[in-house]
Amino acid sequence: MTIEINNRPYDLPDDARISLLDFMRERLEFFGSKKGCNQGACGACTVLVDGERILSCLALAAQYDGRSVTTIEGVANGDELHPLQALFVEHEGMQCGYCTPGQIMSGIALKSELERGAPSNVSSDLTVAPRLSRDEIKERLSGNLCRCGAHNGIIDAVAAYVGGEEQ
Amino acid sequence: MTNIKPNSSSHKSDPNRRQVLAGSAAVAAIGAFGLPVGAQTTAAPAASGAFASLGVPHVRRDGAEKARGGAKFAAEYSYPGMVYGALVYSTIARGTITSLETAEAEAAPGVVLVMTHENAPRLERPEPFYSSPTGMAGSSTPVMQDAEVLWNGQPVAVVLASTQEEADHAATLINVAYEEADAVTSFDVAAESAQTSFYAGRDLLIEEGDAEAALADAEVSVDLSFNTPAHNHNQIEPHAVTVLWKDGILRMHDCSQGVDLSAITIAKVFGISSAEVHLSAEYVGGGFGGKTVWQYHILAAAASQLADRPVRMSLTREGVFRICGARAPTRQRVALGSDRKGRLTSLIHTGTTMKIENNSMTEPFFEQSEHMYRADNMHLEIRAGTMDMLANTFMRAPGAATGTFTLEVALDELAERLAIDPIELRVRNEPDVNPTTGREHSQRASVDAYREGARRFGWVPRSGQRQGYREGEWQVGTGMAAAYYPYKRFPGGAARITLDREGGALIETAAADMGMGTTTATAAVASERLGIPYDAIEVRHGDNTLPGALIAAASQQTAAIGASLTAAHEVLLAELASLVPATSPLHGLPAAELGTAEGALYSLADPHQRIPLIDLVAWSESGTVSAEGQGGPISEWTQDWSMHSTGAVFTEVRVNSVTGEIRVPHITAIYDCGKILNSKLAESQFRGGIIMALGMTLMEGASFDERNGRVMNPSFGSYYMPTHLDVPHIDVGWTDIPDPQAPTGARGIGEIGMSGPAAAISNAIYDATGKRARDLPIRLDALM
Ligand code: FES
Ligand code: FES
């Protein structure tokens, strides 16, 4: 039973109760993914599994045998920040930084969701690819709570990323 | 007209930097969707004078680390042999524990300790706020010292186990039996015996003239009542601590808003000296008044001592709701009487709130009514009842958050009756001096803020007629309100400046940064004071071994740091003077005739006479020059001046006539908070407060079961907060007039955003629908 995290293999835990989030944080000391609620309501624990975002607090580690997980620690290219990470800094898309990893992982995932034409709750026409708009981005990020109120900066950063305006 | 800055000002060494950082990318991003750009593009030159090089929108210093997921929070430190803590919470509001069955838990896999009142170490009661100058606890309720239960949710057992899963499981195996006692869990019952209360060293009662008689005689009046529920901070980082006892030191990685006071408070509980507690909190995942000392710290340290193992105690989200206090509920009355021209003849703001027996925190919701408007007669009074519940506590803009809601809705209703525009009514009652103390304002430009906000928002003046209109099924309206928050500066601030051989400086201060950008702002202030480039300044904070006993509360920390740096700089000048060689023209000049600028020590009388700081440092014996200073007396606001920040908030609201859904597509807010030190961080702080206020207005409330005193919605699934789709682009600006009495010219910006939006939204809802909403939160059922 192995799982790949940021391109490295790890043995899965024996204890079937361990969530993917706790496995990463408490066993592997990947503290980048945060725990805000442990019940799927805040998005702080968002990671990618084979490119799709999931809430790792709601996932049991044991279910992810053979899968490939990307966390916030795995998106930068060495010292060089991922473009969305750099945009979060530039647009003041954070205050305390606790929701930030989850927001960034959601932002990365939603770009590919938009690119493949997946509709959201605010898409007006389900028969065509969703039109890029701030509301589309906001809706797709609404599972990521921020209590500091960095919302405007977060959406600016993700809009710049999705819209291709990376710097 | 004051020159109002949108969000930026310039820097003398790099005038173009601002535009690059503040506007372009955001504007490009928004522009890409063809959406309105808002206020982001306007640039204006900086105020000149002593503060000219502050105000640069430096990006936050820890931004990249946070974006990488590399910032370490309290629950992210590990020690060999560390075990995990889980808590068992009481299920009754008041009574006595009659039995605790722990054997099964003790035998469960991985368990190393079950701690209850029967085996917990003997501890002193924690010192709550206001009980001593260093009290940092939410209450003085004893921590697991006896069988008595004082609130529903009180920890009654701690389990330590090798993994969190094992600890959580074992906690479910503990059986607790109680003998219940009569508990006061009803607001109405507690209100019957509520007494005029006190807060921060004074009685919450102000009477000038006969306000009731003046109200009865008033030509025009309103007399209104309001309800507001309890609110939770809900920092996204749940409270957590990692604890280690080693070599006689209690080491704690905490998430504190005031590391020094937390350490002192915890040291006293354990009967040790504060030098034996090393408590740090470099990163804090949101504070808002709630990251103080609660029982979990003490329980984690006590259990760690008992088990002789390092402990990580991370509260569950439910745990945060059960044991970390919230903003108290209030019932308020605001009655206003005026003459036909709108001059207030009577201002009554009274009401009732709740506290517990073991704290001294009464929600001070009349403070804005003391300072915002002149009135011939006033009666301000807050009564507090005592309930058997979790301690209430400070939450962003204590008092003013709900107090401005009620006062500013009342003014709107009065303006309508008078057929006067709401802005005009406020202008007519703008005080020349503080209305209750008679002191002069250190700086106040409220009227400029109202006018500029109106201009930027596109406010349509009204005289007693609603301006709302219908667009399909949406009813659209606009509303405004004033914002208010006092200036404060607490004693205890200190900082150390150390100059190095390379021309840089290290600033050390035990300040906290819960995301406001303390280190970024501190570096800018230090750069200005020292005349050393911003990038050559390193800041260390968030550790009680550093100088000072600061607390990030009441929007005062930046002022406290500024005063500390000024003091440390004076000491530094004396140190530097002692290093001046006899051959130099600066030799023999006292510190008071010296300054530092552009990396040099210079003569104030003859600025051409200068010596590079690196030379002075090289001549020193140790190769560094270090100086420590303390913030000095705080009389500027306690005795000398009336120092208050104000502002104006404008909103557009859309209410769906079919579903009652409320949306807030536009918010403009202009603040008069003194000098703005960093426009990027300031925008973010203002918006953060506004968004939390949006939540308070439309969705938030801790539901309290009055039958048993238990919070019924202890989860993010049932305590609703604003999400991205709820939040519009928020246009913020400020007057940017330095306050001559504040240490950096800045009065503090962390909390004022929380005051104003609730009333502005409620007033806009009325404009849209004709329905007045006087109870929070205003959910769709109120408008159906
Ligand atoms: S921690 Fe997973 S959604 Fe909140
Ligand atoms: S930055 Fe603090 S919760 Fe989002």
CA of B684, closest CA in chain A: separation in Å?
Answer: 6
Residue B729: list chain A partners with CB under 8 A: 134, 152
CB contact under 8 A, B28 and A86: no
Which residue from B304, B299, B346, B301 is spatially nearest to B324, judged by alpha carbons? B299
Whole-number Å distance between alpha carbons of B166 and B160: 9
Which residue from B347, B317, B322 is spatially nearest to B334, judged by alpha carbons? B347
Integer angstrom CA distances of residue B680 from A95, B647, B733: 11, 18, 11
CB contact under 8 A, B235 and A165: no
Quote the tokens at residue B68.
């990488």
Phi, psi values for residue B179, rounded to 5°: -110, 115
**What was the pLDDT predicted at B57?**
87
* Residue extents of the structural domains in chain A: 2-74, 83-162
Residue A31: list chain B partners with CB under 8 A: 69, 72-73, 76
Which helix (H) or strand (E) is B301 found in, with range?
A: helix B295-307
* Residue given tokens 């066993």 in the structure block: A27
CATH fold group of domain B51-60+490-633: Aldehyde Oxidoreductase; domain 4 (3.30.365)
The ligand placed nearest to the CA atom of residue B284 is: 2
Q: Where are the alpha helices (DSSP H) in B458-553?
A: 518-530
**What was the pLDDT predicted at A164?**
63
Residue among B18, B30, B56, B66 with most chain A CBs within 10 A, to mutate? B66
Report helix, strand or coil for B179: strand
Whole-number Å distance between alpha carbons of A142 and A123: 14
ipTM for this model: 0.97
Residue A33: list chain B partners with CB under 8 A: 69
Q: Looking at this protein, which amino acid is placed at residue B724? A: H
Looking at chain B, the domain(s) classified CATH 3.30.365.10 span 1-30+440-487+641-784, 51-60+490-633
The ligand placed nearest to the CA atom of residue A40 is: 1
Report helix, strand or coil for B690: helix
Report helix, strand or coil for A88: helix
pLDDT digit string (tens) for A41-79? 999 999 999 999 999 999 999 999 999 999 999 999 999
Whole-number Å distance between alpha carbons of A13 and A68: 16
Residue A41: list chain B partners with CB under 8 A: 715-717
CB contact under 8 A, A42 and B680: no
Residue B748: how many CA atoms within 13 Å on its side-chain side?
A: 28
pLDDT digit string (tens) for B658-686? 999 999 999 999 999 999 988 999 999 99
| CA-based nearest residue in chain B for residue A25 | B76
Cβ atoms of B156 and B319 within 8 Å: the answer is no
Q: For chain B, what is the mean pLDDT?
A: 92
**What was the pLDDT predicted at B258?**
94
Residue B76: list chain A partners with CB under 8 A: 25, 31
Q: For chain A, what is the mean pLDDT?
A: 95
pLDDT digit string (tens) for B21-64? 222 233 233 333 322 223 332 333 233 333 334 778 899 999 99
Phi, psi values for residue A140, rounded to 5°: -75, -15
| CA-based nearest residue in chain A for residue B717 | A41
CATH number given to A83-162 = 1.10.150.120
Probe ligand 2: pick from B73, B233, B236, max atoms within 8 Å of CB? B236
Radius of gyration of chain A (CA): 16
CA of A77, closest CA in chain B: separation in Å?
Answer: 11
Q: Would you tell me which CATH number, out of the four given (3.40.50.80, 3.10.20.30, 3.30.413.10, 3.40.50.970), belongs to the domain A2-74?
A: 3.10.20.30
CB contact under 8 A, A89 and B60: yes
| Identity of the residue in A143, A146, A159 whose CB atom sits nearest the CB atom of B29 | A159
Ligand 2 site, residue A66, Cβ cutoff 6 A: no
Q: B374: buried, middle or exposed (CB in 10 Å: 19+, 13-18, 0-12)?
A: middle
| CA-based nearest residue in chain B for residue A158 | B29
The pocket around ligand 1, CB under 6 angstroms, is made up of A 35-38, 40-45, 55, 57
CA of B688, closest CA in chain A: separation in Å?
Answer: 4
Cβ atoms of B476 and B653 within 8 Å: the answer is yes
**What was the pLDDT predicted at B235?**
98
CB contact under 8 A, A150 and B684: yes
CB contact under 8 A, A95 and B517: yes
Ligand 2 centroid to Cα of residue B285, in Å, is 7
- Find residues 718-777 of chain B whose CB sits inside 8 Å of chain A: 721-727, 729-730, 753
Average pLDDT along chain B, 784 residues, taken 10 residues at a time: 39 30 28 30 31 70 96 97 98 98 98 98 97 94 98 98 97 98 98 96 96 98 98 98 98 96 98 97 96 97 98 98 97 98 98 97 97 98 98 97 98 98 98 96 97 98 97 98 95 94 96 90 93 95 92 85 94 96 95 96 95 96 93 89 97 96 98 93 96 98 96 97 98 96 92 97 98 96 88
Whole-number Å distance between alpha carbons of B281 and A98: 14
**What was the pLDDT predicted at B31?**
30
Whole-number Å distance between alpha carbons of B253 and B240: 8
Residue A125: pLDDT band by 50, 70, 90 thresholds? confident
CATH number given to B1-30+440-487+641-784 = 3.30.365.10
Residue B69: list chain A partners with CB under 8 A: 31-33, 71-73, 100-101
Residue B291: list chain A partners with CB under 8 A: none
Probe ligand 2: pick from A42, A98, A103, A154, max atoms within 8 Å of CB? A98
The reply to whether the predicted model has a pTM over 0.90 is yes
Q: Looking at this protein, which amino acid is placed at residue B320? A: V
| Identity of the residue in A36, A81, A85 whose CB atom sits nearest the CB atom of B237 | A36
Ligand 2 site, residue A146, Cβ cutoff 6 A: yes
Cβ atoms of B318 and B287 within 8 Å: the answer is no
The whole-angstrom distance between residue B418's C-alpha and the CA centroid of its chain comes to 36
- Find residues 280-299 of chain B whose CB sits inside 8 Å of chain A: 283-288
**What was the pLDDT predicted at B52?**
37
CB contact under 8 A, A142 and B516: no
| CA-based nearest residue in chain B for residue A89 | B63
